[in-house]
Amino acid sequence: MAEAEVNTTKVYLIIHELFGVLQTRHGIKLLAPVVPPVQCGNDHDGKEHEHKHEYKIARFKEGSWGPYVKMLNGKTYTLQGIKKRSCVATDVPCHPQFSPHPHGTFTQSKKKPYCAWNLPLPKRIQQLRIVSIRDADRPYLIGDPEGDTLDAQMVGVSIAQVFEYDAVPKESVGIYYDQTLVDLNYEADEKNDPATINIHLWAQLENEHGMDDDCARLHAAAATKALVGLFSPTMHIGGTDSLSINDLYETQPRMPQGIRFVELMTLAERFALQRTDFDPDFLCTGKTCGHGGNMFVQGK
């Protein structure tokens, strides 16, 4: 009798804004830019709030979230215990109309990211929670030629993207930096079939209390500039506006089995739901308040 097929555990790395995805012949490098904080929105004593990007990791398992683990500035992370894709990806992402994907080949600039992730090519990349930009004030992206071309091409922005891997049988899945294992729950969620290990990465605003539309646009422009600045100076892309995350694109892709819709929430949405110590007057939680998604760049 033939040996029974092993039911491989799936590893879902869910990427939430704001990363540059640099594809090279060695795999994929995620680069989180250092986004300068914006100061706007007065509290009760007249002082301005400072809104900063947060860089966090967390597990979602059996219907609940585990604790946050902060990414460390200047570190390079790897995800181990996953199968490497042997073939060359010729179309990453698969739907460039939902993610900025400049034409041409670019290199990483000398500007240091907040942190980086070295990853093998995923089995597939799935673009979820697509926000429409058809009715937005255009242009959304500017710059000749890359920004203008992308603005004409894009009809929506994916604000959550799933990198799908298969776990290596009998090996432990884990996130490492400097040979140090990140303290996270890596046990598979056996309630899913097949079992999954759902790991989330966020690089975005968390506390948006007091932000208005003008502040959201200010942050969107700064976030886009920081992201584009990670690559060669010949890339000409600028951002002009934030988007409404409630204005969903008319056609949404099917959710991968083993991922729940609650896992697509932004840090700001989670923050607003969890806070009970003040009136949740978050004007910006209904917006991307940034670039909106990840930018895929073809490297050398």
Cα 69 to Cα 288: distance, rounded to the nearest angstrom: 22
Q: Where do the domains of the chain lie?
A: 10-298
Among the residue ranges 20-24, 39-43, 95-99, 193-197, the one predicted with the least confidence is 39-43
Q: Cβ–Cβ contacts within 10 Å for residue 176, how many?
A: 15
Structure tokens at 205: 């605003």
pLDDT of residue 4 exceeding 50: no
Structure tokens at 43: 């509290």
pLDDT of residue 5 exceeding 70: no
List phi, psi (to 5°) of 24.
Answer: -130, 180
- 157 with 96: CB under 8 angstroms? no
Q: Which long-range contacts (CB under 8 A, 24 or more apart) does 82-90 make?
A: 82/11, 82/120, 82/165, 82/166, 82/167, 82/168, 82/173, 83/120, 83/123, 83/165, 83/166, 83/167, 83/168, 84/27, 84/120, 84/121, 85/120, 85/121, 85/122, 85/123, 88/25, 89/23, 89/121
* pLDDT score of 47: 63
Residue 17 — pLDDT band, cuts 50, 70, 90?
A: confident
pLDDT of residue 279 exceeding 70: no
Residue 61 — pLDDT band, cuts 50, 70, 90?
A: very high
% pLDDT > 70, the chain: 87
Residue 45 — pLDDT band, cuts 50, 70, 90?
A: low
* pLDDT score of 3: 44
* pLDDT score of 2: 44
Cα 290 to Cα 205: distance, rounded to the nearest angstrom: 8
Among the residue ranges 54-68, 141-155, 228-242, 276-290, the one predicted with the least confidence is 276-290
